[in-house]
Structure 1
Amino acid sequence: MRLLPDELVAPERFGQFVSVGVVGAAFDLAVSTGMRELGVYPELAVFVGIEVAVVVMFLLNDNWTFAERGVDGLAAGLRRLARSNLVRIGGILVQLGTFSLLYRAFGVEWTLAGLDAWFVVSKVGGIGVGMVVNYVAESLFTWRVTTE
């Protein structure tokens, strides 16, 4: 009995997902750090950055990582986007929780090149933990990778 579908643990698909995640992380970090530097409350800046990244990553995953899994058409794509957002709620909460724990509990004062470097480090920590949750959830529920 297999616990995980072969497609879920396939190195190529996981590599594509991670590559898309790197692009999403860049959008996430740019948006959230920019907002934070403009004085936006840290957790709100993080949430907006996450949502921008979710949309960017969905579009990339839908057209590359899981391209053969989706039904064509705008309505089907919008349903997958809505499902992706719902599925990612767990990963978003994990990412926000990890960020808050690192940023607030450890509260390191560290500025680098005029930026709150501890904010960025905490964001990267949250992204890393959230990525694992998102990969499994997206594979199983958004693109319905199965053992069959």
Structure 2
Amino acid sequence: MRSDAARLARFAVVGAIGFVVDAGVLHGLLAGLSLNPYLARVPSFLSAATVTWLLNRHWTFADRRGSARATEWGRYLLTMLGGGAVNYAVYAGLLATLPLVARWPVLGVAAGSLAGMMVNYLGADRWIFRLR
């Protein structure tokens, strides 16, 4: 069994990887396809959620993962949408109000990611990968 602090640290590392995926996809969509920065967050978020589910399932919560992958993925996505709502609200608010973030949307992604992290961790720890 892992300590709560070690599990949270692993979750944070996975979240950092998720941030890189999120920001990379966002940047690619903005630079490569000239998508709207608000709409581009949908595929960037879904990409990051998929990567973080897999990493959390096999590393952070490996001792608690279930066998019903589809159910677990559904719970994960639902929980991450809660954290994602917080994430997106912070991102959109900063994008709309701060010229620096309008120039560098990745700063809004970073702030939003930090804001949603605790919602995501608690959901993962207490619901998705809870002790059985």
> TM-score w.r.t. structure 1 length?
0.81
Contact 1:8 1:145 in 2 (8 A): no
% identity of equivalent residues = 29
Partner of 1:26: 20
Deviations 1:73-112 (A, max 9, x none): xxx0111001100111111111111000001112337xxx
Q: Highest CA radius of gyration, 1 or 2?
A: 1
Determine if contact 1:20/1:57 at 8 Å carries over to the other structure: yes
Specify the alignment match of 2:97 in structure 1: 105
Name the Cα RMSD after superposition. Answer: 2.0
Distance in 2, matches of 1:120 and 1:141, equals: 30
2:53 to 47, 58, 75: 58
Q: Do the aligned partners of 2:66 and 2:129 also contact (CA within 8 Å) in 1?
A: no
Task: Count how many residue pairs are aligned between Structure 1 and Structure 2.
Answer: 131
Distance 1:71 1:10 in 2: 19
The 4+ residue runs of structure 1 with deviation greater than 3 A are none
CA shift in 2, pair 1:98/1:8, >3 Å: farther
> What's 2:111 paired with?
125
User: Which of these residues, 42, 47, 61, is aligned with residue 47 of structure 1?
Assistant: 42
The alpha-carbon deviation at position 33 of structure 1 amounts to: 1.4
Aligned partner (choices 5, 11, 22) of residue 5 of structure 2 = 11
Confirm whether residue 96 of structure 1 aligns to residue 88 of structure 2. yes
What is the CA distance between 1:50 and its match in structure 2?
Answer: 0.9
Q: Which amino acid aligns with 1:85?
A: L
CA contact (8 A) 1:31 1:49 kept: yes
CA distance in 2, matches of 1:90, 1:145: 21
One-letter code of the match for 2:114?
G
Structure 1 residues not aligned, in runs of 5+? 1-6, 110-115
- Secondary structure of the residue aligned to 1:68 is coil
CA contact (8 A) 1:24 1:57 kept: yes
Q: Which runs of 5+ in 2 are unaligned?
A: none
SS of residue paired to 2:39 = helix
> In the alignment, is the contact (CA less than 8 A) between 2:49 and 2:77 conserved in 1?
yes
| Matched residue type, 1:103 | L
